Homo-oligomer: A and B are copies of this chain.
Amino acid sequence: MDKRDGMNYAPKGKPNVVVKGGEFIFAVIGLNHGHIYGISNGLLEAGAILKLVYDPDIEKVKAFQKEYPQVMAAESEEQVLCDPEIKLVAGACITSDRAALGIRVMRAGKDYLTDKAPLTTLEQLDEVKKVISETGRKYAVCYSERLQCESAIYAGQLIEQNAIGRVVQVIGMGPHRLNAPSRPDWFFIKEKYGGILCDIGSHQIEQFLFYTGATDAKVVNSKVTNYNNPNYPELEDFGDATLIGNNGATGYFRVDWFTPDGLSTWGDGRTFILGTEGYIELRKYVDLAKEETGDHVFWVNKDGEHYINVTGQVGFPFFGQFILDCIHRTEHAMTQAHALKAAELCVKAELQAEWIV
């Protein structure tokens, strides 16, 4: 996987096996986004067994099987949904189809783990909530820019240890490399990808809620535009939003498709977490002009300026926790409410967004 291409960014974490043998079996449906490789890696590293894969595009299935030779290709989605061994379906289909797939999965009695953004409209959100309530199944979301980023996990641990006091603000920057020719058609159709604040903005809103501990928030301003890609009129190449959490913490983020070709990775993702007693900065994927590696954590408090590179130090605890949550019907990895609140707010940010002319 090329670190310069975010489309196929599939980080491998520190293995943390929580299940053994055939204790937890999952399948994959929907290979439209390369994130499915990262999600599969996370589940496999935690000890899950990958039994079946299904996608209508046989080429995508073949490529997936090349990476995971153990997986069998299913003839149909039906075959996956009817397999009683399969407890969880993971998927990365086209963003606007994710809710419908999840609903079919949950109605088949299985849990669902989708790539972000998990849905693109408030109507889908309502329907998803209804089916969760009816079936008791999980509609989980892999917000990879936190869950599959060791520096982002470490920041959560620092906050928990009270290293910076009460968190009052989070600023996130989520630039991405466009590499338009490598992208599928649906990527440039707003109704399908959901708009930039819904798509890559969802990572940012999830991080804002997580680090501040807010359980709800108001989007007080958001904007989107296409500054420099007239050939893709439905692409939003820039978006930003600012929020106020229900605990008074605030957030701002910018997302864009302007990563220059000269950057050594797909995006110079940053997170600035301001606390009453200090602050944290994450340089998630590169330390600009200094180190091409990622996971640089800087923090400052009364004791001084601190730096640690956490590559290989913390792993991705989400996947193991999530598998155990599926088995025990708990919510340690992420609550359902949190996963869907982030989804709701990113759809609202998109709906409210002013188009910059």
Chain A residues packing against B (C-beta within 8 Å): 164-166, 168-169, 171, 173, 175, 220-221, 223, 225, 227-228, 238, 240, 242, 244, 248, 250, 252, 254, 256, 258, 260-264, 268, 272, 274-279, 281, 286, 288-290, 298, 300-307, 354, 356-357
Q: Are A227 and B301 interface neighbours, CB within 8 A?
A: no
Residues of B within 8 A of A252 (CB): 240, 242, 252, 254
12 further interface pairs, Cβ-Cβ under 8 Å (given A169-B254, A248-B357, A262-B305): A166-B227, A168-B258, A169-B240, A175-B274, A220-B223, A221-B242, A223-B242, A240-B250, A250-B356, A260-B279, A264-B305, A289-B305
Contact of A248 (CB < 8 Å), options: B225, B240, B290? B225
Cβ of A357: which chain B residues have Cβ within 8 Å of it? Answer: 248
B277 touches A288 (CB 8 A): no
Given the interface pairs A240-B252, A242-B242, A307-B289, the reply to whether A262 lies near B300 with Cβ below 8 Å is yes
Which residues of chain B are near A354, meaning CB under 8 Å?
A: 220, 244
Task: With both chains docked as a complex, state the minimum distance between the C-beta of A273 and any C-beta of chain B, in angstroms.
Answer: 11
Could you pull out 8 A-B pairs where Cβ atoms are within 8 angstroms? A169-B256, A220-B221, A220-B354, A223-B250, A252-B252, A256-B274, A262-B301, A290-B307
A171/B171 in contact, CB under 8 A: yes
A93 to B121, CA, bound (A): 54
CB pair B290 A274 closer than 8 Å: no
Report how far A165 CA is from B262 CA in the complex, Å. 14
Interface SS of chain A: strand
Chain B residue at minimum C-beta to C-beta distance from A357: B248
Copies in the complex: 2
Contacts of A304 in B (CB 8 A): 262
A169 to B302, CA, bound (A): 33
The reply to whether B305 and A263 contact each other, CB–CB distance below 8 Å, is yes
The minimal Cβ–Cβ distance linking A342 to chain B, given in whole angstroms, is 20
Residues of chain B within 8 A (CB-CB) of A220 are 221, 223, 354
B356 in contact with A248 (CB, 8 Å): yes
Q: Please measure, in the bound complex, the distance between the C-alpha atom of A139 and the C-alpha atom of B240, giving whole angstroms.
A: 35
The docked-state distance in angstroms from the alpha carbon of A279 to that of B225 is: 18
Q: Flag if B254 contacts A227 (CB, 8 Å).
A: no
Could you tell me the distance in whole angstroms from the C-beta of A277 to the nearest C-beta in chain B?
A: 6
The 5 A-B pairs with the shortest beta carbon distances in the complex, nearest first, are: A221-B221, A289-B307, A262-B304, A289-B305, A228-B276
